[in-house]
A and B are shown apart, each in its own frame.
Chain A
Amino acid sequence: MKYVDEFRDGKVARNLARTIAAEVQPERRYHLMEFCGGHTHAISRYGLRDLLPPEVRFIHGPGCPVCVLPVGRIDSAIELARDHGAILCSYGDPLRVPASGRMSLLRAKAEGADIRMVYSSADALKIARENPDREVVFFAIGFETTTPPTAVALRQARAEGLKNFSVFVNHVLTPSAIQNILESPEVRELGTVPLDGFIGPSHVSTIIGSRPYEFFAEEFQKPVVIAGFEPLDVLQSVLMLVRQLNEGRAEVENQFSRAVTREGNLKAQALVAEIFELRDRFEWRGLGEVPYSALRIRDAYRDFDAEVRFELPYRSVPDHKACECGAILRGLKQPQECKVFGTVCTPDNPLGSCMVSAEGACAAYYTYGQFTKITAVAEAS
């Protein structure tokens, strides 16, 4: 058992796809939101849409930490490196995200800001130890999966008494985003966004467990299936959702039981709770200000909070007018419905954040060929 190849067997996939095709009811549509960009990526990369009947529709959710990061936060990160002279350590993902004034972390780096790509929060700590006379800031982004590693680095920094290390925290919370979508007027009152069920996050759920989703299943009567990221995991979860919908059930089911329990990783949760607390509100790209949807550093660790140390003000910056990332992140629009998709906005020259990350809905559409079909269809008609 290697936990990878076993879940990529094309033959099993085709059989599973036949079962799904046999079980969907032809008169109904199954609008399934895959919350995570990881699922969007798997669907595109393995060409899963080709295997599924047309009754099953995917709606791409906001589960990509790069895509939901608002422009103002990238601006602040650039400011840290450029105006405060800090070494800014960032994961690879945010480097290309467009900031204000045609800037990005990569462009700021080209102009001389000291911005370094790291693979892990531990690498940022190492850079801080090696540069005692420089301020070193770790640009922490990500959902619940990526928060515990940031917490480990903060705990370590305090234990070592590192004076030149701080963290610019942008960790956001999955359940708040799901709730925001479910409570949005488009979904709840207007019904303009049909949303029948959720393919739930896999790696986030390894940390938070399956329990937080129970509320959505009950309160909003939407089935949730927590799904692994391998292609067979996604297909199986689709089948589980189709069955729930056919039978009129709205439950939380756990397809990714090899890694997710109801309680999650309690050790990681405890560490996160020790170091972080809820922010009253946090701006998400596309969703706007979402209450209690992000974390900040507790007072006990405030010496390591870059927002405190550098007195960083937050300035909200509107997205580019033509960019539809907001609507796409809320499931209101598909990438190809955006006017600038594939023209002004491409992975080489992204206008919006959904085109940046490999798992942003627009980038996945562009890179893995949904674009092809659109062109082909446009010509056929």
Chain B
Amino acid sequence: MCLAIPVKVVELLEAEQALVDVGGVRKEVDVSLVDGVAEGDYVILHVGFAINRLDETEAQRTLAMLREMGVEPGAAA
């Protein structure tokens, strides 16, 4: 459920709005639900609202784990 996508905050605007970018597409969204949003942050966007911030360190950790969990072909003997 809940179609939501990661977008990058490129500019903070007045009244808790922000301009976000996803693959070159830009849209004005509401950031009032997330504390302390800063330019450069990645947030999850749902129905025109940022609902949470993404944590890069955690994302890197997940990716590292993903690679580690995968068996390279030929490695399993």
Contact = CB atoms under 8 A, between A and B. Distances in A.
A36 interface: yes
Contacts of A359: 1
Q: Determine the interface band of chain A, counting residues with CB < 8 A from chain B.
A: 35 or more
Contact of A145 (B51, B59, B62, B70): B51
Interface in A136-164: 142-143, 145-146, 148-149, 152
B25 interface: no
B69 A16 contact: yes
A22 B55 CA distance: 31
A321 interface: no
B4 interface: yes
Contacts of A64: 1
A16 B76 CA distance: 12
A258 interface: yes
Contacts of A12: 66-67, 70
A91 B59 CA distance: 31
B72 interface: yes
Interface in B34-77: 34-35, 42, 44, 46-49, 51-56, 58-63, 65-67, 69-73, 76
B71 A152 contact: no
A203 B73 contact: no
A22 B2 contact: no
Contact of A236 (B34, B52, B66): B66
B33 interface: yes
Nearest to B7: A3
Interface string A225-261: 0000000110010010000000000000001011110
B47 A1 contact: no
Name the residue in A2, A119, A260, A271 with the highest tally of chain B Cβ atoms < 10 Å from its Cβ: A2
B1 A4 contact: no
Interface residues of B, number: 39
B5 interface: yes
B52 A207 contact: yes
B54 A146 contact: no
Given A2-B6, A3-B42, A6-B63, A201 B70 contact: no
A148 B33 contact: yes
A223 to B, nearest CB: 17
A123 B30 CA distance: 12
A164 to B, nearest CB: 21
Interface in A338-381: 359
B55 to A, nearest CB: 5
Given A149-B47, A149-B48, A258-B54, A203 B4 contact: yes
A19 interface: yes
B44 A259 contact: yes
A268 B58 contact: no
Contact of B54 (A3, A120, A232, A236): A3
Given A148-B33, A203-B1, A259-B54, A91 B60 contact: no
In the A-B complex, the 5 residue pairs with the smallest Cβ-Cβ separation, listed nearest first, are A15-B70, A120-B48, A3-B6, A145-B2, A258-B59
